[in-house]
Amino acid sequence: MGSARLSWSAPTANVDGSPLKEPAGYRIYYGTDPNDLSHRIAIPDPSVVSWTVSGLTPGTWYFAVTAVGSGGSESAHSTIASKTIQ
């Protein structure tokens, strides 16, 4: 089993350009198909800007991060990143 270390910059604005207020955390979406990121990890701490996803089987894995607001709103997915696990 392998792992992937992800890190990101905390957003400061919503998609519409308005200031981001009261961020509540992040969600990491991942999977072996960039069009089907079916696994999810919730990170309920907005100060956390890196995470290690472990238990990955060999193959190419794709990852995207979203920001979650205190009211439950969620940003669009980040740019998709990938890592090949040997």
Report the number of distinct structural domains present in the chain.
1
Which whole-number Å values give the CA distances from 69 to 37, 39, 61, in the listed order?
21, 20, 26
The predicted-structure confidence for 19-63, as pLDDT tens digits, reads as follows 777 789 999 999 999 999 999 999 999 999 999 999 999 999 999
**Contact by Cβ (8 Å): 81, 62:** yes
Q: What pLDDT is recorded for position 76?
A: 84
Q: What is the pTM of this model?
A: 0.89
Which residues span the domain enclosing 81? 2-85
Give me the CATH number covering residue 24: 2.60.40.10
**Contact by Cβ (8 Å): 83, 28:** no
Q: What pLDDT is recorded for position 19?
A: 75
